[in-house]
Amino acid sequence: MTRIAFLGLGHMGLPMAVNLMRAGHDVRGFDLVPAALEAARQEGITIADSGTDAASTADVVITMFPAGRHVIDAYEGGLLAAAPPGTLFIESSTIAVDEAQAAHELAVRAGHRSVDAPVSGGVVGAENGTLAFMVGGSAEDFAAALPALEIMGARIVHCGGPGLGQAAKVCNNMILAVSQIAVAEAFVLGERLGLEHQALFDVVSEASGQCWSVTTNCPVPGPVPTSPANRDYQPGFAGSLMAKDLGLALQAIEQTATDARMGRLAQEIYALFAAGDGARRDFSGIITEIRDASSGRRASRSQADWNQNVRSRR
């Protein structure tokens, strides 16, 4: 049995913490949101008085926060000082690569071990313990984190040194965003050409266009009964989260001077989607924007219009 402090008990963090508890670990949780604490209490998670209280007796501290600044603030605000020497910090938020590296340095200077381990797989993966973890850190720290990660996930990949788990997450989600837009555009084009959704799915799902955005997250109802399209695009993975992740991708693109035109365009499209109702809808709901623009219910925008609107919202 390992003593685990789990900080951040939202839609992803709570089921992850529950899986650790059910595996026999001593889990103490904390969240700043009262409703999240109550939901965790009802699941049987022991609730600490604060994050530092939870960390004070922990062997492992897992953080699942909204943004990098929350991680750095928590680390510098007493979390690292409260933890026993040599505590393993598993940072599972999705944050910028340089923020993950800064958090790692803070943890090491405080006498702890540290890995960044962002996740992919959504709420369903968190509930089922089938998440994918992309892990950055030393081989020794990766090995130490593996027993906990294997309870929460089905695929755990050591991506390299500190921050490279986040690098893999950024690259993966940029691919996902671009492919989801392309799939949505293809289905709208098929509609306008007279193709039935099922016919197009039957071809693409077994042909060279096959991808996760077709076979799992199909943006139209029917062909994949478990996709968000069958429940009016309830997430899933919300548009606001995809927009956030693509903002991190854009930051990395600019820092590395990478010629990533599709990534930039995907970021612009999802930033506008998340500025409206798309923030609360699954990111596959982008098909409704494409359909509306194609049918004249919303005027299509030139590239300059997209750029100006995105800049004005930053």
Catalytic positions: 169
Is the distance from CB of 220 to CB of 187 less than 8 angstroms?
Answer: yes
Which residue type, as a one-letter code, is found at position 59? Answer: D
Residue position matching structure tokens 């909204």: 66
Q: Which of 94, 20, 11, 10 is nearest to 61 (CA)?
A: 20
Q: Which of 240, 194, 191, 178 is nearest to 220 (CA)?
A: 191
Q: Which of 148, 93, 153 is nearest to 125 (CA)?
A: 153
In b/e form, how buried is each residue of 297-313, taking b as 16+ CB within 10 angstroms?
eeeeeeeeebeeebeee
Cα–Cα separations (whole angstroms), residue 296 to 104, 150, 293, 299, 309: 50, 49, 5, 6, 19
Q: Which pair of tokens denotes residue 282? A: 């699954």
- Partners of residue 250 on adjacent β-strands: none
* Dihedrals phi, psi of 89, to nearest 5 degrees: -100, 120
Whether cis (ω within 30° of 0) applies to the bond prior to 10 is no
Is the distance from CB of 267 to CB of 181 less than 8 angstroms?
Answer: no
Q: Which of 231, 266, 236 is nearest to 248 (CA)?
A: 266
Q: Return d(Cα 18, Cα 27) in angstroms, integer.
A: 8
Gyration radius of the chain's alpha carbons: 20
Residue position matching structure tokens 């193709």: 195
